[in-house]
Every structure is written in structure tokens, then in C-alpha cells.
Chain A
Amino acid sequence: MRIGIDIGGTFTDIVGNTGDRLFYAKAPSSEDIVQGVGDGVKLMLKSAGIDPAQSKIEIEHVHGTTVATNALLESKGAKIAVLGTLGHQDALELGRMKRGQLYDLHRDAETPWHLAPGRVRIGIRERVDGRGNIQMPLDEDQVVSEVSRLVARYGIESIAVCYLNSHLNPTHERRTGEILEEKFPDITVSLSCVVNPTFREYERVCCTAFDAYVRPIVERYVAQLATHLDEGDRNLNLMQSRGGIASAEMVTHRPVSMFLSGPAGGVVGSLYTGRLSDRKNLITFDVGGTSTDVALVRDGRISISQEGRIDRFPLRVPMVGLETIGSGGGSIAWVDAGGGLRVGPQSAGSNPGPACYGRGGTEPTATDALLVLGYLNPGWFADGTMTLDAGASHQAIEDLAGKIGLSKIETALGIYRILVSQMADAISLVTVKKGEDPRKFTLLSFGGGGGMFSAAIAQSLGIREVLVPRSPGTLSAFGLLVSNFEIDKVVSHYVKSPREADTAAIEIAYQALEKEGAADLETNGSKTARIEFRRSADIRYSGQAYEIETMVPDGEFDAAALKQLTDNFHAEHEKVYGYSDTSRDFEIIALRCVAFRRPPETSREVLIGELPSGGDQAPVEVRRITLEGAGEVDCPIYRRTSMSIDNPIEGPCIIEQSDTTTLVLAGQSVHVDDARNMFIQGMK
């Protein structure tokens, strides 16, 4: 059986799949994460009636975790050193000189130099030239003496090695790795030729340094977790940023692939949730406290970016293409020095949080406005774990209203309208930038806060429908259950022009990647499912500075495949950039391969689970709320659990469920389909 475990800030969600039924469990996330997981799994097994001590059942654990992200955000990563080529050892700090903030004189540095300041960045005497030839041999003694010094003086625990041109010739990096392993067995080592073997030294060293920074943390985490699982780490698997899972062993080979482990599960879960209702084009919309994450599912596939960012720094590993919008439930409404009303980008976060949290926050936030408008139930928030102080919200909004000369209700409605307009504008920018028209998508709302805004945003963007999954809170855990095992491999392979392409050499390179990928996957996942491969190539028009990942047809790479690749590239370029030029020469920069293994097929019936008994679908209460354009209205409040299949309710209404609250506007209707997904339709 496969068990998906998603550890959130408050709860750990667990979903188990025995093959003929899904079992859900929820346990409070404890200080000791590992203990929390152990408890949760026991709870779930108990509800499934399985006694692991008795039964011989093979359990496959799949885990989404924020351990890597938290280490970074809380600056709790390892003490690392960076070894570089002498004369280029400071790329991590010097970066590429571009600035993200144009006018702010007091901005912070653009590069993640804090991972390894100058004292722990060492220039090693070695040189590979620009065509991959060794120009100066590696000074092995220097490696040993410098690292000994750094360990003694700075307590270095982990080392990133990134030499110039190692993507062309990794001999020196590999040799350095061997030396370190032999002489310093307690230190973990990240080699750029393993972690991210493609050109551009700044981006490569960033990736390698982040890898080294979280490596000991991830290794420790996995080891601890394994002690709590009866099978040890044999069947422990983790979600990677790309939205595929890999064994704990594989992941610890490249922990830098873990930064989006948490959110990636949600995107995969969204994909499958949409599929159950036959929706293949989704904009996933996850409203959190300080920000909102948006991702695209196109034609049943997650949009993957080969070069993402983490904490505003470049991170060149495949990851689900999440775009972050700076508005969330904690966004603060304020008045600027010119008298204009603004909402965000400052956020009260969750601590102190909105005024209504009663944790000392006094500034009016989005959540306070929602409470004043009557959209949220103060007595039942976050699954009943919190009571909100409505009085504090009213006071905070009232204070703001005084500054702009509006009534309290007008101000709260104004904040809501501004947020809706900001989020809608941002979603429109994000989708159009990717060459897509938002009106062709279903807006899938997950996370706690999405349901407040999704109907209004869909309406303003001309999106036809909103999908609210049965259980937005467990979407991530569900995603873990249904993910492929996936390993990605990349190699620099420069081809100056398709006319000069040696297809046989490319085929050999692909086969080598597939062999590596297959070897990594060999021990992963159900052996009954075969290993499949997906090839792609990074291509650009001559003279361009950025490549586009282009799909390569299956089968041997021959002249016909090259022709197909050429067509694919022009088409992809057309899609992303709005034009293509078939007469123009292009260059191949790198070859990529994903090796994957599908999970055992689970039937739709099992994934959907038992159909609801069909509740009475009667409102549990009627609340006075304020809606744009309609003023104060009596709004019926329903429980999601009471809704029966294909039985629409007319808006305005509010649907409450344990992990989210959904606002349906006047003129819209809401129903649950036979996959137990809830849809809001009838946008004006």
C-alpha cells in the first residue's frame, strides 16, 4: 500500500491507498516532525484496520516536506564551503550584476553570498579551458590543505565544488570529490557536474551551494524518519520540486531538488483532481497568509520550469512552474502619504497575523475585511481550531475607514474588491506571459483562503468555472499517492546548427542518460511497472541567450527525429514568444531525459471513494453579509457535506467545509459532481 504524508504548519495530512480504498487521517503536526509522522501513520493504519506488526503488507511511504525550504528560510542550513577555480571562486557573490529592485537605494544583495562568504570560498589551482581541455592540472594537495584549514577554523560540514567549464570536462570536480570523500568522510560533498551540469557558472554555483547547504539537513531528516518506520528507509520516498517522487536514497544524492517538495504535491493533486472531472486545463490558485501561488496545468500536464527561483535567487533545477503573487489573507490595507488606499504588499503573516487572530496585530488585513463583510464564520475557523475576534477586525477596519472618509462596510468591501482586482490582474499577467488565455482554464482553488476570492476572480477574468476539490487541505497528500517516480538527467551537448548535428552522437548521449536514469530508478517503485523515458533538448536560435526546452520524439534519434525536433522547437518558440523563424539557425545546448515509472493503476472509483449519502442540502444558518452591488443580503450558509450530487444551489451562498469556506456570488450556481468536486458556474 502507498501512503502519502504531507506535513503542514498545523496539521499532518495522511492518505493511504490499499488499492481498493483510500484512507484519510489528520494529526496535529508536532514540534518533533518525525514523531508526528509516526503517530499519523499509525492512526491511518488503524482506521484502515491494518496492523503492520501482523500483516505482511508492503508499505510505500511518500512524503512531501518543507524541510529544505525551512532550513533556508530560517537560515538553519549547514556550514558550507565553496571550492572554485582560482580567479573565479567568487561567482556566488558577484553574480550577474542585474538588480531586481530598480529604484530602492537600500535594497539587499541579489546573490545568495550569505550561504558561503568569502572566507569559505576557495580558489583552487586547476583549469579546464573553454573547449573542455585540461589547461592546468588539479592541485590535489591544495584541496586537502585548504579544506583541513576550513574544517578546523570554521567547522565546515558540507562542501560545494564548482569549477569553470566542468560541464564540458568534469574530471577535476570528480577527482576533488574522491579526495574529499577519502580524507573527510564526515563532510558531505555536492559536485556541480552531478547537481547541475550545464553552462553559466553563476547559476551553476548557486544550485550547487544550495544543494550543499541543505544536504546534511535532508540526510539527517531522512535517517530520523527511517528510524520511525518499520521498514527503515527501504520504502521511504520523497516528492521532488518537479512533481515526481524519488526514493530517499536518490533524493539525498541531490537534495536541491527538494525545495518545492511541499507545494509540488498540491499541483500534482490538482492535476489528478481535475482529471477525475475530466478537466485538463487548470489554473491552480493557492491563497496563503502572505502570498498566493499560481500554477498551470495545460492539456493534462503540469507546466515545469527548468530554471526557477527560491527566496529570489536563481535555482536551476526542474520545478513545477509556481508563480507567486504578493497578496494573501494577511495582506495589510494602508493609506500612503499621498492619501491613496493600498492593500499589500506588506503582510501581517500568521504572526501577529490579522487583527482578528488576537495575537497582537492591530493593522487591518484582508482576513479582517472578510470577517467584517460576514464571509467568514468567527466561531469556526481553520477547522474549528481557532476562534476569531470579530471585534478586533471591526475596530481595525473602522480606524482605516476614518482615514479615507468611507464607512466601515464600504472600506471592507473596498479592500475585498482591491484584492480581487490585484489577484485577477496578476493571474492574467502570469498566464498571458506563458502564452495562454486564462479564459480557457478552470480555476482550481486550494489551500484555505482561495474559496473567498475564486468566484469573484473568475467572474472578472471571464473564466467559466471554479473547481473546489472535495478536500483542498488534503490535496497535497493525495498528489503524493498518485505521482510517478521520476529522475531527471541533463548533459551539456553543444550542436552549433542542425545541419551539423551528429544524430548518432546525440543518440549515444541520450542512451547514456537513460541508462543513468534507469539505474537510479531500478530500486524505486513497483517493479511491475516498467521504466519509461521522456527526452527533451534545450534549444535556442543562434544569438539568443536563453534556451527553450523542446520535446524530442520517442525512439531512436535519427534524421526524422531531428526534423521533428526542429518543428517542435519552432512551434514551442511561437507559443512562448509569439513568433518563430523557420529559416533561422538554432543551437542545441543541452540534452535532457526524464526516466519515470508510473504508480500502480488505481481505479477512478477508488480515487473518488464512496459517494456521499446525499444530504438534505439545507442551509445550516442564514447570515447577513455584504456583497458588491447588492449591499446587505441574507445569505444561506451550507455545509459541503450536506450537498448531493448534481443538485445546484443558486448564489449568493456560502459553502463551509472543514478546510475552506467558499463564497458563491449572486447569479452563479454551485454543485457537486459525481467525482465529488464542487463547481461554481454561471459566471456573468
Chain B
Amino acid sequence: MMKTETHSTLSNSDKAVDPITLEIIRNRLETIADAMQNTLLRSAVSVILKEGEDGSSGLITRDGYMMAQARSNPIHLTVMPTAVQAVCEKYPREEMVPGDVFILNDPYNGGTHLPDILMVMPVFEKGKDGGDLWAFSVSLGHHEDVGGIDPGSMSARSTELNQEGLVIPPSSWLKAYKQDMATYDFVRFNTRTPETVLGDLQAQLATCYLGARSLNECVKEFGLETMQSAIEQLFDQAERLIRSKISEIPDGEYDFEDWAESLTPGMDRLPIHCKVTVKGSDIVIDFAGTTEQQPAPTNVNLAGTASAVHTILRGLTDPFAPLNDGAIRPITVTAPEGCMFNPTRPAAIALRAQVSCRANCSVLGALTKVMPDKVIAASHGGNHVISFSGKNWDGSRYGATDLIAGGLGARPEKDGIDHIDHAVGNCQMPPAEAWENHLPIEIVEHTPIPDSGGAGKTRGGLGVRRSYKMLKGPVTSCHRAERYNSVPWGVLGGLPGAPGRAYIERADGTIEEVPAKQVLELNTGDTIVRETPGGGGYGDPLERDAELVALDVQDRKVTRESAYRDYGVVLDDLANLVEDATVKRRAELAAERGPITWTMDRGRDGRI
């Protein structure tokens, strides 16, 4: 469990470091983390790590507090300290020697989900010559395969952890620079792609070495005492910075209910309960009341839940604050054991990213009521992933995954952005031409959906429609998305964004609706059409600059009907503004509706 303590993490010195040296050390630590990340991506072998950039690098203090983390995937934010703690519980620090390296992937003991292997290397004052253990150099890589029922170890059909692959508890990888062959062989014989996995682990090792070496150079340049004092001061600085922002939020307890989509048969949506307590400059996020853990891989452990919470709180406080322990000290994240945000062994956990995204959104929802002028409206709610496996033109087997996004929620000063990844992930959509040139799948359409962005003074970003026609069946497809049975809410009079939807248009013309998450069987000529949610609107649509609404209609973002119905804007045949009629129409609509007395509009789930 994440705890809030304003502890002194490195207390062997109280000598203040001057602000110049402090800033130079801060820059240096961030540069080291970024250089580690470059090394990780550069020397990795697998496509997912090298080009999907699904990995992270960081520097952790002796006591397990984050000094710096590379600018990488938000979903890895804050998971490294947990890994270091797990290692140290099993292998006492006093017994560690230079050249020791540890790995783990157990989500219930320091890990995230099984494909993510964390590597931890202790850093000593005098490098190879030992001295005090004062830091850890850590890398995380998402691996191509760690066993389990389906290749890739990301199966949608697992119901418990052990079906998902090899579980690695904190284990010795190198002992005093010497490979621990027991662990090595266990990993090697429990993956379908040993060369790639071992190659990527080699990249992680190079990353950890670089971090350790660079920290040693810092010790030579500044001295250990100065480094440790500086780090402590940097924590305090970041903490003061974040506390000053949290203090601006009114004290109180704020409850919010939201929903995640379900992969569990018979359940259409899974309630999430989030309570945010703000007291002075402290903030506590508690998920008591959230759906219990699922017999499906749609759970996320508490470290992952916390990453998602920290990601949104960073956005709401200071997105540019230093990435160190100080910045998260004022924040506590709790969830009852056994719920889907803090499951217990042996709950399956492979598809955690989408679930953690829901935690992120619910914190935004809880705080919207109390700081509506600082938040943004709700976004599309997660990655919308679909994978296909079938046979290529030449008969060879293929497996391929497509990721698409929906609309970003409207902001107080800006419209939402169409089709953009948000919250915890940061992936890149493959081009339609990559699909069509290499696989028997045609991307029939990839277009924004008019009216999917919630109306508002600023408008929500648009969701997209992307449809895939199977040119050669049969194809098995796993489809998973969010916000089909709930909507991205609008704020302060803004209307909600449109929910997502999917359907199959069979070769014979029949239409089959598809739920948010399902495994599909497709044949030649079938088309799967997926529509992603739009972002919610912000502020009264009747106050949106009517000229902008006219342009929205010309730009195909808003239909003429919605302009009239939601924005009260009257247009001529060429979609030019008719001013007098608009003034009249807006007055009528305002009178009909009355004053806006609600903060959030959640469509069928009501206004609150």
C-alpha cells in the first residue's frame, strides 16, 4: 500500500546544498534517466520495446524513493520503488555486493503484469570497489513473451495469473557480475522467444549499468554527502511545489461513481467508486466500493492504480514538476484488497492498462465537482485495441494489433483534440497503408464522427470510425474498448461525448452489434466497424461563439441538426451563420432549459 509520510529519506547529512548545484544535480539526474531510456530503446531487440517504447528507466534511493524517472510511459510512473522494496525484503541490502542484479515480474510482489520484467541494480559509493550502497539503478521492459496460454502473454481469456505466464519472484540475475544460471535457465525455458527476451534483458542490463556508472560519476564530481543532501532537498522542493498546488483545492471529501467495461460474461459494466479526500496540502484517493476483482485479466494492482492516479494528479497540479518522490509524497492511494484496483493472487492481470485508465478518469470525475474551473471534461476512456490472427496471402500465419483513440475532453480555454491517446498510455496507431500493404485486411474507413464530441462552450474532441474488412478469412479477433455503456461526461453545461460502439457487417449484409470487449470470429468479406467515444464538452453550448459553430458544421465536426438543437445556432444553406435567428433561437433554448445548476452531465447516468 502506498503511504503518505513526510519522512526524511536520506538523513545522513543536513548540510544545505546551494541552489545552483542543486539545479545542476536535478538536471543531471533527469539526463541520466533519459540517457538510460535511450540506451534501453536503442539496444533492445523486440519491436514492442524498441519501437512501441514500452519500457522505463529510473534511479531510486537506497531506501526505495524515486530520484528521477525518464520521460517515458506514464503507466510506469511510480512502480519502480515498489520493485526495489520487494527485492530488498528478500535480499537484505547489507548482503548486496557490487555487480549484484535482480529481476522480478510478480504483480503481487513488486511487478506490474507478467510481460514487464523489472531489473534492479544496487549502486555503491565507490562503484566496483564497494563502499556504502546508496542507490538503485532500475529498468523496466515489456517483453515479447513470458509463456502462458497465448503467444505474447497478453491473453484476453486468462482467468488467473498462472495462465498468463512465468511468474518471477524477486530473483538474482547476476551475483557479483556473474550470471545466476538458475534464474537464467528458468527464464530461457519459459518463453516462446528466448533470444528476444534474453536480448532485451541484456539491453536492460546495459541500461542499469549506465545508470550506476553515471551515478558514480556524480559522486566523484559532487561527493556522496552533497549528492544525498541535494536529493533530499530536491524531494522537499518538489513536495513544496505540489503541496502549494494541492492547497488550492478546497478541503473536503469528494465521492464519485464511474464504470469500466467488462470482459466477464453476464456483466455489462463494472462500478468504480472513488473517494478523494483533500485536507490542507494532503490528498487521499480511496477506491473502497469498487467492483471486486474479476475472473478475467481486467484487474490492475495497486502500484498500477497509483501510477494512473499520479498521472491525472500531475496534470491537475503541475505537469512539469520534477519526477521524484517529493512530488508524490502528498498523495496517498488506497484500495481494498480484493477489488479490481488492488486484486489478490491469483487474479489475472494482463490487460491492466485499460483498467488503470478507468482509475485515472474516476479521480478526474471526483475532483471535477470541487475544481470545475481547473479540470477538463472526460475523455474517451482508454486504449481501444483490436488484434487479428489469420493467414496472409501466401498462407503464412500472422498476428497483428491495431490501437486507436477517441476524443479528448474539452478544456476551459480550448476544444478537445480529436483522436488522441490520453491518460496512462501513449501509443502510436499503425498507418492504414501498413495494414493494406502487408496483410489481407482493408481499412475501409478512418474518419472522425460528427457530433461525437460533446457540445459546449468549448467542444469535446471527436471519436473516430475505423472499419476493417477481412479480405481473407477465417480471422480470430480480440476486440476491447471502453465507454460503450457509459459516456464521457460534460462539465458546467457541456454535453457528454458520444459513447463507443462496434458492429460486424457480415459479407451477406447482416449487422451484428458487438459489446465493448469480445473475441470475434470473422470470415472473408466481413467488416468490423469500431467507433470510439468523443470527449465531453465544457461550458454552456449556447455561449459558444456562433461563428465557430458554423465553422464546426463546415468542418464536418458538428451536424447542422446538432448546431440547431444543442448550440441554438441557425445556419443558411451554405452553413453560414444567420445571426438574428440564432440570437432568437438561443434565447428560446436558454429559457426552456433554465439555469445550469449541475456540474457534470453524464447522459443516461444523470446530471450531478
Contacts and interface: CB of A to CB of B under 8 A. Distances in A.
Nearest to A100: B426
A414 interface: yes
Contacts of A203: 431
B554 A97 contact: no
A165 B35 CA distance: 38
Contacts of B34: 429
Given A103-B74, A117-B555, A425-B27, A90 B436 contact: no
B370 interface: no
A103 B23 contact: no
Given A87-B447, A165-B437, A199 B428 contact: no
Contacts of B240: 337-339
Nearest to A426: B31
A338 B241 contact: yes
A151 B402 CA distance: 37
B13 interface: no
Interface string A107-143: 1111000000111000000000111000000000000
Contacts of B42: 433, 435, 576-578
B26 A340 contact: yes
A385 interface: no
Given A97-B403, A578-B43, A164 B244 contact: no
Interface in B12-33: 18-20, 22-24, 26-28, 31
A7 interface: no
Nearest to B532: A97
Given A103-B74, A428-B35, A201 B431 contact: yes
Contact of B19 (A94, A107, A130, A404): A404
Interface string A494-514: 100000000000000000000
B551 A117 contact: yes
A240 interface: no
A442 B285 CA distance: 53
A99 B421 contact: yes
A414 B244 contact: no
B399 to A, nearest CB: 11
Interface string A610-640: 0000000000000000000000000000000
Contacts of B421: 97-99
A417 interface: yes
A53 interface: no
A251 B577 CA distance: 42
Interface stretch (A33-41, A273-281, A360-368, A543-551): A543-551
Interface in A540-563: 543-546
A167 B434 CA distance: 12
Central interface residue in B19, B51, B199, B236, by most chain A CB within 10 Å: B19
A249 B314 CA distance: 52
Contacts of A98: 421, 426-429
Nearest to B411: A106
B376 to A, nearest CB: 5
B410 to A, nearest CB: 11
Given A414-B20, A417-B24, A418-B23, A199 B411 contact: no
Interface residues of A, number: 73
B275 interface: no
Interface in A126-184: 129-131, 153, 164-165, 167-168
A577 B318 CA distance: 34
A579 B448 contact: no
B47 A545 contact: yes
A669 interface: no
A99 B426 contact: yes
Contact of A413 (B20, B326, B413, B445): B20
Contacts of A90: 446-448
Nearest to B41: A577
A235 to B, nearest CB: 41
Contact of A199 (B237, B376, B434, B444): B434
Contacts of A433: 38, 42
Given A97-B420, A429-B38, A342 B23 contact: yes
A97 B404 contact: yes
Interface in A315-361: 336-343
A339 B34 CA distance: 24
Given A89-B447, A102-B426, A429 B35 contact: yes
Contacts of B376: 105-106
A8 interface: no
A421 interface: yes
A421 B437 contact: no
Contacts of B20: 341, 406, 410, 413-414, 417-418
A58 interface: no
A109 B39 CA distance: 29
Contacts of B448: 90, 93-94, 118
Contact of B413 (A106, A110, A342): A106
A626 to B, nearest CB: 13
Contacts of A76: none
B237 A336 contact: yes
A425 B445 CA distance: 45
Contacts of B219: none
B277 interface: no
B405 interface: yes
B531 interface: no
Contacts of A168: 437
Interface in A409-432: 410, 413-414, 417-418, 421-422, 425-426, 428-429, 432
B5 interface: no
B440 to A, nearest CB: 8
B50 A199 contact: no
B38 A97 contact: no
B71 interface: yes
A202 interface: yes
A96 B434 CA distance: 13
Contacts of B514: none
A199 B34 CA distance: 31
A130 B43 contact: no
B340 interface: no
Given A97-B419, A118-B555, A579-B43, A406 B27 contact: no
Contact of B28 (A91, A425, A494): A425
A528 interface: no
A104 interface: yes
B283 interface: no
A421 B28 contact: yes
A118 B554 contact: yes
Nearest to B421: A97
A103 B314 contact: yes
B435 interface: yes
Contacts of B35: 428-429, 432
A648 interface: no
Given A103-B314, A579-B45, A88 B432 contact: yes
A56 interface: no
Contact of A200 (B50, B241, B431, B443): B431
A338 B235 CA distance: 10
A500 B19 CA distance: 62
B311 interface: yes
A337 B419 CA distance: 34
B261 interface: no
Contacts of B267: none
B459 interface: no
Nearest to B32: A425
B435 to A, nearest CB: 7
Contacts of B23: 340-343, 414, 418
Given A96-B431, A429-B38, 5 more contacts: A87-B447, A95-B420, A105-B315, A340-B19, A579-B43
20 contacts: A88-B447, A96-B431, A97-B427, A99-B426, A103-B320, A110-B417, A118-B556, A119-B551, A119-B554, A130-B442, A165-B433, A200-B433, A203-B431, A337-B244, A338-B236, A340-B22, A578-B39, A578-B203, A579-B43, A579-B45
By Cβ-Cβ distance, the 5 closest A-B pairs, closest first, are: A130-B436, A338-B241, A118-B555, A414-B20, A103-B319
